[in-house]
Structure 1
Amino acid sequence: MITDQQGNRLSGATAQAAEHYNEAQVSFALYRGDPLAMVDRAIETAPNFAMAHILKAYMLGVATEPAANEYAKEIVDKLSSMRLDDREASHTHALELMLDGGWTAAAQALDMHNVNYPLDMVAVHAGHLLDFYRGCARDLRDRVARVLPAWSPDIPGYSLLLGMYAFGLEEAADYTKAEEKGRRAIELQPLDSWAHHAVAHVMEMQGRTQEGLDWMTIRKPYWADDDNFFKVHNWWHHAVYLLDLGRGHEALALYDSRIRVNQSQIALELVDASAMLWRLHLAGVDVGERWSEVANCWEPHADGNSYPFNDWHAVMAYLGAGRDNDIECNLLELRRKGSEDSEIAQWARLTAIPLIEGFTAFWRQDYQTAAEKLHGARFIVDRFGGSHAQRDIIDLTLMEAAIRGGYSNLATGLTNERLALKPSSHANANFLKRIHHLNKGSSKAA
């Protein structure tokens, strides 16, 4: 019987196809190389190799891109005509839910899947990404915790599991344990970009800015290679540290030389580009015409139907580029989608639309509306998308709205919040100085 590296049966595989599949699985989890090409080789070698098709469908489905989602649906349709064992059928069910917009239902299906198949790395990894995309900190932590006792350091992939666990612990605010697990994962596999990224998140959340910048710099040989799919997001973290230290022009140079050097069309990297331009704008750095390049790249992805987190980031670029018609079209589609009953519709209605309205009001200097929209959005945004560090852009924009609108009481309260969490942050100290200047003049009620 042919199995994967963790001992799970691979029906329809040959020994050569299994080798390609195992390579693809590791490449996908490390965010290095070309896992799609590897899994395609497995499928070419063994066309009825069900898990190879399943792995490919997950890779495409978690890209959060409409075209990739449709391609993944075609793969799942093909799987329905194949003879599947129980594990493969369970995966196919989760894929169907995910590709139909039921992200939480799919994640919960994979919860149950891993109860029965704790050594199924594909399921753990796919579920972990689903938890990330729906902003579920608890399952980011507990999904791995549930299966980790079944693993041991001598099982291939153990270090990758630790890297995922580190990120889940960080998002659940268990920073000490998160850093411990992340550093252990890197000891076992120095090329694990996700584990490196988990430790970077810990330092960001704790306000250890210079230490975080040093962490990125010292470990750059391990995460900045050309074949590293995660390098752009890690460069984003590098730039965030620079911004917190008040080194905005260095962050802009990094944007040009690293984050947008290849003008990527990948949605995940466009999120980083939009968010960094917005943060630079908040910091008072003139980004010039860079908005238009990013806005053009968002066109095939921001459809108002696939993943509202992307639509929100697309609108940031549309605002900067002055593309008001695109903003209105996107909002129109989100409102149409929001009238449905799906989970994507809930994200559109309850989270994306208030965020887009708040960011639009801010850009148009309607700071009162921005403050009203974004203050409320802070408490619902964990229902979808991204990490705490990524979602901090909401609080940063709200803070700027309060200061620029002259709402000193609100600005003071928000700064107190931030300083309680990050007392050594240069950016938070700067907010405090600006509020003192604001208080010398007239102030408005929040």
Structure 2
Amino acid sequence: MLTDRQGNTLSGASAEALDLYSRAVVAFNLYRGDPVTLLNQAIKAAPDFAMARILRAYLFALATEPEAAQAARDDVAAVKAYRLNEREASHVAALDQLLAGEWSAAALTLDRHNMRYPHDLVALQVGHLADFYRANARDLRDRIARVLPKWPADIPGYSIVLGFYAFGLEETGAYAQAEATGRDALDREPLDCWAHHAVAHVMEMQGRAEDGIGWMIAREPHWSGDDNFFQVHNWWHRALCHLDLGQTEAALALYDGPIRQGTSAMALDMVDASALLWRLQLTGQDVGNRWHELARAWDSHADGRLYPFNDWHAVMAYLGAGRGDQVERLLATLRSGETSREASVWAKQIGLPLVEGFQAFWQGDYGTTVERLHPARFIANAFGGSHAQRDIIDWTLTEAALRGGYRDLAEGLAHERLAAKPHSPVNRAFLNRASALGDRPRQVA
């Protein structure tokens, strides 16, 4: 029987389909090229090729977009009619849970899968992404730590596994080890966007904005190509470095250029666009009518049910564009949704207070902003994104405390931010503004 590059057997494959599938897996690993087209071709060449359809279902499911989720369900329904080996059947079980909105159940299924099949690179990457989407820093690290000793350096994909591990180390605060591991991965495979991204995160979390800009510029040829799925997110990371240095014009130029010039309709790209425009707005930068295009792009994705992390970012765009009706639509869905699925629990317990807090901020109701965002910041790491992405909550809360005259809170938050990034002009400005509020601080209700 035919096997993949790591030695896992593949049901229903042909030699031609295997070559196409192998290229799709590499494209997935590197976030470079078009894995879906390659998988379409593999399925056409071998209609009963289970892993080709399983990988395509994963790609659609991980897009966190309603239409793509339905395409994933169609693939899962089809593959259940195939003759599957135990490894492939385990994948289908994880997909069922993922598509039911049970992210942690799917991740736990993949935990067990990864320990039984440690060289299943597709499962490792999907599990890693499931950990990211549910913001489980420990499993981002330990999913890889459990299997890495079983990966000799000569097995294809070893460098990719190192890149995953680098990001898990960064999200758990092991910054020096994360950077060293990420650089090791890149020495082995310079095109590994996830490893590059892990090192960029280290520099962001350590407040090394100048290093971050230098890192992005020096390695730009490796991650900025038009066929690179990760390019927008990496441009976003560079924009964060400019913002940390107070260089708002440079950040806005990146938004107008590589981040949004293509008006991408992918949810992941739109999350970055919303998050950058919101930060720019917080700094006082006039973003003009940019919100309107972005809000229109969100219309086909923000349903209040599939993935609340996306809905929250859609709300930023709707607020900026003055589309209060869409904000109220999402609020109604978040408030009324059932709570039997994990994604629904995220929506009600985390997405709802974040949306309410950001809406209150936009409306100038800083007291309500503080009431909603102060407690939400401690639970928001349960439903998606990285520490760098979720920092927008603390930034908005700090700005609300300043604008609302809550000096004690504003000073405390500014000191907290400066402890992490003592050289950040943005954080220093927070403290200076808090100190200027006077000797009669307003108390939070």
TMscore range, shorter length = over 0.9
The question of whether the paired residues in 1 share the 8 Å contact of 2:411 and 2:435 is answered with no
Offset of 1:443 from its aligned partner? Answer: 2.6
Q: How does 1:99-114 map to 2 (within 5 A)?
A: 99-114=99-114
Counterpart-to-counterpart distance in 1, 2:339 and 2:126: 26
1:372 corresponds in structure 2 to 371
Q: How does 1:319-334 map to 2 (within 5 A)?
A: 319-334=319-334
Counterpart-to-counterpart distance in 1, 2:190 and 2:285: 35
Please tell me the residue identity of whatever aligns with 2:402. I
Counterpart-to-counterpart distance in 2, 1:345 and 1:33: 33
Counterpart-to-counterpart distance in 1, 2:388 and 2:36: 29
2:65 corresponds in structure 1 to 65
Offset of 1:144 from its aligned partner? Answer: 0.7
* 1:423 match: secondary structure: coil
2:185 corresponds in structure 1 to 185
1:269 corresponds in structure 2 to 269
Residue 383 in structure 1 maps to residue 382 in structure 2: yes
1:360 corresponds in structure 2 to 359
Please tell me the residue identity of whatever aligns with 2:241. Y
* 1:246 match: secondary structure: coil
The question of whether the paired residues in 1 share the 8 Å contact of 2:11 and 2:83 is answered with no
Q: How does 1:287-302 map to 2 (within 5 A)?
A: 287-302=287-302
1:444 corresponds in structure 2 to 442
What TM-score comes out, normalization by structure 1 length? 0.98
Counterpart-to-counterpart distance in 1, 2:276 and 2:168: 24
Counterpart-to-counterpart distance in 1, 2:325 and 2:311: 14
- Unpaired segments ≥5 residues, structure 1: none
2:152 corresponds in structure 1 to 152
Q: Deviations over 1:64-116 (max 9, x none)?
A: 00000001001000111111110010000000000011110000000000111
Counterpart-to-counterpart distance in 2, 1:434 and 1:410: 12
The question of whether the paired residues in 1 share the 8 Å contact of 2:162 and 2:185 is answered with yes
Counterpart-to-counterpart distance in 1, 2:181 and 2:212: 17
Counterpart-to-counterpart distance in 2, 1:162 and 1:255: 31
What TM-score comes out, normalization by structure 2 length? 0.99
Counterpart-to-counterpart distance in 2, 1:123 and 1:194: 16
2:16 corresponds in structure 1 to 16
1:199 corresponds in structure 2 to 199
Offset of 1:333 from its aligned partner? Answer: 1.1
Please tell me the residue identity of whatever aligns with 1:436. S
Offset of 1:439 from its aligned partner? Answer: 2.7
Offset of 1:437 from its aligned partner? Answer: 2.0
- Unpaired segments ≥5 residues, structure 2: none
Please tell me the residue identity of whatever aligns with 1:398. L
2:53 corresponds in structure 1 to 53
1:142 corresponds in structure 2 to 142
2:313 corresponds in structure 1 to 313
Q: Deviations over 1:234-282 (max 9, x none)?
A: 0000101001100101110110011001001110000001000000000
The question of whether the paired residues in 1 share the 8 Å contact of 2:398 and 2:410 is answered with yes
Offset of 1:17 from its aligned partner? Answer: 0.8
Counterpart-to-counterpart distance in 1, 2:363 and 2:238: 29
* 1:47 match: secondary structure: coil
The question of whether the paired residues in 1 share the 8 Å contact of 2:166 and 2:177 is answered with yes
Offset of 1:29 from its aligned partner? Answer: 1.3
Aligned-residue Cα RMSD (Å) equals 0.8
1:396 corresponds in structure 2 to 395
* 2:225 match: secondary structure: coil
Moved over 3 A (4+): none
Offset of 1:340 from its aligned partner? Answer: 2.6
Offset of 1:436 from its aligned partner? Answer: 2.3
